[in-house]
Each structure stands twice: as structure tokens, then as C-alpha cells.
Chains A and B, each alone.
Chain A
């Protein structure tokens, strides 16, 4: 990825509308929604980047690279990129994707991100990008609030999702990797 996009740190804002999809008033509304989100979730932040890939790659790869390399200048230092959720929109490819930091690995799933994008889909089809972002952000807030409550009542359940594999499991995985061709045992009558 670094070879494709560069290995240097990229300084951007939370709302980086490089593609110019939103008017000034719309950007203000989106930033207000981001503020509300950050107030509700003091550890997290939400960022949006609209960019024209121009044949370089798809939004999934770009979002993954950007969240690892970006330095958000309007995000407090106590909210590192591990706590970020990045929405990337490519208006040329008509596609959008979600990427999130390690701190959210236990709490967010691909289904949650699809739900977010589904809520915004109807707006984006009509070119109403800011409204789609705000609507999706509301949905994401609802899901995260629910997950937070569940995590407080049963933290082990979420910790297991991101726990490193145990030594025995690692051994078993190595054995499986070295013996992919499993010989079936003959069953005697």
C-alpha cells in the first residue's frame, strides 16, 4: 500500500472533501454531526474523506492505507487513529467504504458497516452526500451505543473476539497447515 500511496504521513482534517461533493453549509452540518458523535463517544472520532481515485485503487485499499497514515489535525491527541472510523467516498467509482481502528475491532463488524452504508445509500444515489453521511452516522451511533452497553455487561464476550490465539491453537494451526491433505480413515464394518 505504501508503495502505491506513499509511506509518508498525510495531514488531513476530519472532513476532507477533496472531491468537492459538499457545499460549505453542508460541511458544517456534517462537522456538527461529527462533534455530536465525539461527545457521545469520548474515545472515538469519525472522519470522512472524499477523493477521486483516478484509477489508482478502490476505496477499501485507500481507506485502509489512509487510516494508518493520516494525521488528523482537528482531532485531539487523546483520540488516536486506533479509535477512528473512516468513511471513504469515491464519486467517480460510485463506491464508499468503511475502515476502523483496532480499538473498535471487538465492537464493529462488516455487517454493522454495511448497515451504515445502506442507510446512506438512498441519499448518495441522489447525490446528497452530506445527508447520507449524517443519516449513516446516526445509525452507527445507535449500533455503537448498543455494543457499548453489551460490552459493559459482558466484556469477556467481546474480548474473546480479539484475543490472540492460544499456544495450543497455534500448534494445531501449524499442524493443519502442514497436513492439508487429510487421509481419511478406513471404516471397518
Chain B
């Protein structure tokens, strides 16, 4: 019985395998082509499919010039604000006709700039634009600084893009631009931008930028001696006009020295004066000092009524011998 069951299972499996794993066979037409050597089997794997890949309909096409022009034009400052920005010299130090700043932020910035102007011979004007906004091509920034700020106090003009401090630009009024080097202006821009980038909030960035720029303006004033007063314009003309980097370094060192001297100069001067006066007094008193010896009773000696103090005798006949070698002691009869 058991042998019968095994035989039936084996037969069943053989039939199933025959049905499931039947090998492919050549069709009669293919066999004729191969035998006629018109087709090489596997040639498609070796040579690749030469048919063009289908075009991906989702790929972004680069914008055309017309599209770019339209995009820039869309980011430009609206024309209705251009006059408020660039038509005349601003009355305040903060120029924000688009009201990009909140009232409280504007109030804070205006207070800061007013304080700076009251404390400094160099005004500080801030123009606020949007982060993506662009100044229309018809407006030339250099021309603005010359046209609007050639009169009055020297000014530093900042074009600040709210939320994008790296786009900020600094311009100087003509009386300063002739005196402050481009390198110095770049340094002001870099240090202020770095100070602003440390903040995340756009208002805080503007605040940090303004504070740092104000500090750098103060350094320029101190280096130029504007802090002690005097005509700002005339002194500004004495600012260095060095253009190359070496001169800029010397200038930086000089400014550091000036800043140090401004802070410590008074103390150092007073101290040195005190030392000089003390030394002079000491030297004078020493020169004028008189010395009185105490008087002792001395018994006369050697029959001398007034003197018996016999000291050294020295010979100076030889130029080769030392004084010690030509020194003769006190003789016996003394």
C-alpha cells in the first residue's frame, strides 16, 4: 500500500513539473532568420537601445529675457514711492515711505538716528526697502548722494533692504567721499553686515546694522579729530585719501592709536607731566642743596696749625700706566 502511494506521488510530481517548466522554443520564422544570419541573438543587450528617451514634461525651462524683465519689474519699488525716496533730501533720518517698519520700530530707529545726529558731526540717513525690492534702473545711487547731500552736514547714506542685510549699500556725501577711502567704506559695510547677520529678526538686524555703522562713524570722527568740535566739512577734508591696502593698514593703526590716545591720553599726559615735574624738582633741589658738616674737635698733628690731612699723590707722566700704577702712598715721615 505504501509503495503504491509513493509511486502515485512521484508520477504526479513529474506530470506537474512537465506542465510548469516547459522550455521556450524557436518559432519557425525566427529559426529561418537566425539560420540566414540576419539577426544576432543578444545584440540588443550589447549595443543598447538607440531609441530617444521620452521627454520629461516636468523639467523647468529657464526663463526667457522677457520673463526676467517682467520679474525684475515686478520687484521694483512702486513708482508712487519714488518721489518720496529720491526727489529731495529727506527731512528725517529714516526714509520709509512704504511703511515697511512697524510704528514702534520706526519710532525707535528715528530716535536712534536723531540721537546720533545730535552727537555726531556726520549725519546718518537710512533708506528702508523690501528684501526683494530693486531700485529702478533710472535711479542712480551715486547721483542721489551728490544731488541730495552735497549741501549741509556730511552724511552717510544707507540703503537697507529689510531682512536682507547682505544687500545693504553705503554711500557718502561728496564732502566725505573725497576723504574716506573705498577700503574704509567696505570695512564699515562688512562689519555692519556681520553684526546684523548675527540676529534673526529683520528689525533686530536693522538695529544691529545701524548701531555698528554708528560706531564706525564715531571712529572716523575721532580719527579726524571731529569729536573735539570744529568745522566738520573742513576737517573731513583732512581725512586720509589712501587708496591702496598698505595705506589702509597704516590708517587703521593710526586710528587705533588715536582712539587709544583719546581714551588714555589725558591720563598719560598728566602722569608724564607729574613725573617730569617731580624729576625737575628733585634735580633742582639736589643742585641747590647745601651740605653742612658737623664740627668735631680734632687734635693738631705734625705741627700743622690748620691742616694735616694728607691724601693721595698721583703721577700723570705716563700715558700707558693706570692711575693706580702711578699712585704713591703716604710716606713714612707723615
Contacts and interface: CB of A to CB of B under 8 A. Distances in A.
Interface of A: 1, 39-44, 58-60, 63-64, 67-68, 80-82, 84, 86, 93-114, 116-118, 121, 124-125, 144-145, 147-149, 151-152, 155, 158-159, 162-164
Nearest to A148: B291
Contacts of B292: 41-43, 148
Interface stretch (B135-143, B212-220, B277-285, B304-312): B304-312
B296 interface: yes
B58 interface: no
Given A98-B311, A102-B308, A60 B293 contact: no
B294 A155 contact: yes
A25 B324 CA distance: 31
B319 interface: yes
Q: Which of A60, A94, A96 has the most CB of B within 10 A?
A: A60
Interface in B176-200: none
A125 B314 CA distance: 11
A95 B331 CA distance: 15
A166 B330 CA distance: 26
Contact of B291 (A59, A94, A121, A145): A145
Interface string B80-103: 000000000000000000000000
Given A103-B298, A117-B323, A81 B313 contact: no
B311 A67 contact: no
A99 B302 CA distance: 13
Contacts of B312: 97-98, 110-111, 113-114, 117
Contact of A158 (B290, B296, B328): B296
Interface majority SS (helix, strand, loop, mixed), chain A: helix
Contacts of A116: 311
17 contacts: A44-B293, A60-B330, A64-B308, A84-B307, A86-B307, A95-B314, A98-B310, A99-B310, A100-B309, A105-B298, A109-B311, A117-B313, A121-B323, A125-B318, A145-B289, A159-B296, A162-B299
Contacts of B260: none
A134 to B, nearest CB: 16
B293 A148 contact: yes
B306 A158 contact: no
Nearest to B306: A81
A164 B334 contact: no
B327 interface: yes
A63 B310 contact: yes
A19 to B, nearest CB: 14
Given A64-B302, A114-B314, A124-B316, A105 B294 contact: no
B300 interface: yes
A155 B43 CA distance: 129
B210 to A, nearest CB: 67
Across chains A and B, which 3 residue pairs bring their CB atoms closest together, nearest first?
A113-B311, A94-B317, A81-B306
B295 interface: yes
Contacts of B307: 64, 67-68, 81-82, 84, 86, 99-102
A131 B289 CA distance: 24
Contacts of B313: 58-60, 95-98, 117
A119 B153 CA distance: 70
Contact of B316 (A40, A121, A151): A121
Q: Which of B293, B311, B323 has the most CB of A within 10 A?
A: B311
Given A121-B323, A125-B319, A102 B310 contact: no
B315 interface: yes
Contacts of B305: 68
B311 A97 contact: yes
A147 B291 CA distance: 10
Contacts of A59: 313
